[in-house]
Amino acid sequence: MDLKNLRFAESHEWIAPDGTVGISDHAQKEITDAVFVELPKAGRVVAGKESCAVVESVKAAFDIYAPVAGAIAAVNGAVVKNPAALNQSPYETGWLFKIAMTNAADRDKLMTHEQYQEFVKIHKH
């Protein structure tokens, strides 16, 4: 996945032009080893910033938010079976679900990778 094509939400999800959603490399490091992933059902309609998935690590549970509004078009069953993929490959095999966006322009309002990296730097606790 070319990071230049991705857009990032402040809640650390990325979304590709085709609506594929995952979490950033920064987020997977914060979450630490993922042990369970719970994904929404295909067909579910979600609002932007709606919590729709959960990633559990040994440390804690993390809500994953839909970066834009739309309908869940597909989910990554492979990452449910092998949550480690989320840590090993957050931008490729560790993707979570795909959204059929209600309005593709919503995506353009999110941060570029460059902007996101700046954002992470500023918001580092």
First-to-last alpha carbon distance for the chain, in angstroms, is: 28
Residue 54 in the binding site for another protein (CB under 8 A): yes
User: Per CB under 8 A, which of residues 18..47 are in contact with another protein?
Assistant: 32-33, 35-36, 38
Least CB distance to another protein at residue 59 (A): 6
Shortest gap between Cβ of 36 and another protein (angstroms)? 5
**Residues from 88 through 117 that contact another protein (CB under 8 A):** none
Tell me the closest approach of the beta carbon of residue 54 to another protein, in angstroms.
7
Query: Based on CB atoms, which residue is closest to another protein, 4 or 125?
Result: 125
Question: What token pair was written down for 22?
Answer: 């995952």
37: which DSSP letter?
E
Q: Which is nearer to another protein, 36 or 78 (CB)?
A: 36
How is 69-114 classified by DSSP, letter by letter? -EEEEEE-HHHHH-THHHHH-TTTTT--EEEEES-THHHHTSB-HH
Distances (CA, A) of 106 to 18, 33, 35: 13, 31, 31
Which residues contact another protein (rule: CB under 8 A)? Answer: 32-33, 35-36, 38, 54, 56-61, 87
